[in-house]
Structure 1
Amino acid sequence: MDLKQIQYFIALFEDGSVTRAAKRLNIVQPALSMQISKLEAELGQTLFERGPHGMTPTDAARLMYRLYTPIMRDIEHARVQLSRQDVIVTGRVSLGMVASETESVLAESLAKFNALFPQVEVSVADGFSAQLIDGVEAGRLDAAIINKPRGRLALDMQPLLVEEMVYVTGLACRAALPERIDLSSPPAVELVLPTRRNGLRGALDAALMAANIVIKPTFEIDLLSTIVQFVEQSAVATILPRVVVQRKVDEGLLRAHRIGPPPILRHIVQVSHPKRPIGPATQALIDIIAEEIRRVTRSAADES
């Protein structure tokens, strides 16, 4: 049973005629009759007795009308309220994000969101993609922003953006590096990378495997902030999304080199439970975060 079938049922119940109900709904009569037949088959109930003077509702139809008419009024009221420009959005948002985004654009995004929706409470959890997927599945999170998993999910998944990963060094690295790094013949610089539990490492390994390239890091660290500090304070290099390091690059503390061809890309997606649709406040926060990532990476790309 879907919303359209309920609308068709109510129109036929109130008009008592397939001809009049179809005209009211602006559809052809066979389409209306087919939907009512499907509804009766799904419910296992006869809803209308067909006679020479029109459609007479059965007791089951009268009960259905009493039950569903208030629901349809509530849906219409909600539609009107949401279409208003001055609607006040309230409630609570519980969002999960991979650490690469919480450490880079979350603060700015929350400030913008709070200015637009001051009456919405926000809770943000960070972690690995697998942990955040579990949170959405269990209902602890309304939605999550994660690295696109390689396997299939039982969740709804929508692409957000594609982001370039860059080869990053600190000022202590004295190697003469070209503007663009070819990972098939990488520089003689020790590497620190996220561990294999991290979705970023998965995206990197998948891209390297596709290009038949093998690299072996000297160090593997879970915390991205620690990786960035380590690179800043030593002669090691790393490979991370540009958004993670761009602030330090702008401050002159790190150098970012483009990779390729081929480039190394990571795909960011939003996931939600199919039985718990994302609310307007949650979607608004996700949209603001995605736009903030685009702003940071776009400005960096314009300068390079």
Structure 2
Amino acid sequence: MDLRQLNYFLSLCEEGSTTRAARRMNVVQPALSMQIAKLEDELGQKLFERSSQGMTPTPAGQLAYRLFSPLLRDLSDAKQQVVSRSGEISGRIAVGLVASVTTSVLARALAIFARQYPEVEVSACDGYSSAHLDQVRSGMLDFAIVNKTRRRLDLPFMDVLHEEMVLVTKAANGRGLPSPILFRDLVGLPLVLPSKNNGLRTIIDDIAEDEDVAISIRLEVDAVAAIEELVRQSDWVTVLPAIAVHRGLADGSLRAHRIVAPRVTRQLICVHNPRRPLSEAARLFIDTLGSELADAANVLHSQENS
């Protein structure tokens, strides 16, 4: 077993295709397949199953990925710390983000970061806050940007952004609603919200419980982009961070209404594993994301006050 085999193995796990994995590792496909076969022989385990969906890790392959991926990232981080002494930032970082971040600023942040640090490879995925926390604990992710809830967190974190969540309506439908709107006045509105697995929904449910307000939720959709499109084309309304629907607010197809008594706010935080210090590349990417989120929030705030 050598580092080359392990890197080929991780690449195949993450790409799900020998063609894509070989392209990522800059080798021909037969060479990658041969090294995977050698690794399987050495471990005495079949690591992948071939299916119509591509190459799927077996239970043994999934276990190997969970064990090997943190080790390889640690090696990459160690190399980066030595290399960075000469001023060059390189390495690989794996980050998880909640959907409201991926739909708002991720593309721009990645473009800026890639121009500034072309030697850093970034792997970004979106999902639920709870899933990202588990992946950070296991070492599959270097860090994650998630929604902070009231539940006690067993991982170190740093603040990234505080912002209000707003009632979002189709522009034409919002003119008859008071602005700001009281939280209790959400009762009776045709609400579409993320499911209970979503950290944004947890924030709303916690406030509703505190205020003894029974909100009727007739539709649950986790895809933020789908919620935005549904609100734009119908009489449904939602409660989301303004950043998550910034495109619709900017083009005038959606209208945002502040919620008061109480205000609904969310706190984005960056969590990481205390046993795996953040690399310089990770810290720089966090700074880039935070800067883009703050800029987007400031633009929306300026639009609301204009």
Normalised to the residue count of structure 1, the TM-score between the two structures is 0.69
Question: 1:1-304 residue pairs with structure 2 within 5 A?
Answer: 87-171=87-171, 173=173, 176-186=176-186, 188-304=188-304
Following the alignment from structure 2 to structure 1, what is the Cα–Cα distance between the partners of residues 196 and 174? 28
Task: Kindly state the Cα deviation for residue 187 of structure 1 after the two structures are TM-superposed.
Answer: 7.0
Residue aligning to 1:17: none
Task: Kindly state the Cα deviation for residue 157 of structure 1 after the two structures are TM-superposed.
Answer: 1.7
Report sequence identity in percent. Answer: 38
SS at match of 1:192: strand
Paired amino acid for 2:102: T
Q: Which deviates the most, 244-253 or 207-216? A: 207-216
Following the alignment from structure 2 to structure 1, what is the Cα–Cα distance between the partners of residues 211 and 188? 20
Say if 1:187 and 1:180 are closer, same or farther in 2 by CA, change over 3 A.
farther
**8 Å contact kept, 2:188–2:215:** no
**8 Å contact kept, 1:167–1:257:** yes
Task: Kindly state the Cα deviation for residue 106 of structure 1 after the two structures are TM-superposed.
Answer: 0.2
Say if 1:190 and 1:92 are closer, same or farther in 2 by CA, change over 3 A.
same
Q: Which deviates the most, 205-214 or 154-163? A: 205-214
Task: Kindly state the Cα deviation for residue 262 of structure 1 after the two structures are TM-superposed.
Answer: 2.0
Say if 1:302 and 1:171 are closer, same or farther in 2 by CA, change over 3 A.
closer
Task: Kindly state the Cα deviation for residue 175 of structure 1 after the two structures are TM-superposed.
Answer: 6.1
**8 Å contact kept, 2:164–2:242:** yes
* Structure 1 gap segments, 5+ residues each: 1-74
Task: Kindly state the Cα deviation for residue 231 of structure 1 after the two structures are TM-superposed.
Answer: 0.5
- Structure 1 runs of 4+ aligned residues shifted over 2 Å read 149-154, 171-175, 185-189, 207-214
How many residues align? The count is 226
**8 Å contact kept, 2:174–2:255:** no
SS at match of 1:104: helix
**8 Å contact kept, 1:172–1:235:** no
SS at match of 2:185: coil
Following the alignment from structure 2 to structure 1, what is the Cα–Cα distance between the partners of residues 254 and 264? 19
Following the alignment from structure 2 to structure 1, what is the Cα–Cα distance between the partners of residues 242 and 162? 11
Paired amino acid for 2:239: I
**8 Å contact kept, 1:167–1:239:** yes
Following the alignment from structure 1 to structure 2, what is the Cα–Cα distance between the partners of residues 153 and 174? 37
**8 Å contact kept, 1:99–1:126:** yes
Task: Kindly state the Cα deviation for residue 193 of structure 1 after the two structures are TM-superposed.
Answer: 0.5
Q: Deviations over 1:42-78 (max 9, x none)?
A: xxxxxxxxxxxxxxxxxxxxxxxxxxxxxxxxx9xx6
**8 Å contact kept, 1:173–1:234:** no
Task: Kindly state the Cα deviation for residue 302 of structure 1 after the two structures are TM-superposed.
Answer: 2.0
Normalised to the residue count of structure 2, the TM-score between the two structures is 0.69
Say if 1:224 and 1:142 are closer, same or farther in 2 by CA, change over 3 A.
same
> Between Structure 1 and Structure 2, which shows a larger proportion of helix residues?
2
Task: Kindly state the Cα deviation for residue 214 of structure 1 after the two structures are TM-superposed.
Answer: 2.6
**8 Å contact kept, 2:183–2:262:** no
Following the alignment from structure 2 to structure 1, what is the Cα–Cα distance between the partners of residues 236 and 154? 39
Task: Kindly state the Cα deviation for residue 151 of structure 1 after the two structures are TM-superposed.
Answer: 2.4
Task: Kindly state the Cα deviation for residue 172 of structure 1 after the two structures are TM-superposed.
Answer: 5.4
Following the alignment from structure 2 to structure 1, what is the Cα–Cα distance between the partners of residues 119 and 200? 34
Q: RMSD across aligned C-alpha pairs, in angstroms?
A: 2.1
Say if 1:143 and 1:174 are closer, same or farther in 2 by CA, change over 3 A.
closer
Say if 1:170 and 1:280 are closer, same or farther in 2 by CA, change over 3 A.
same
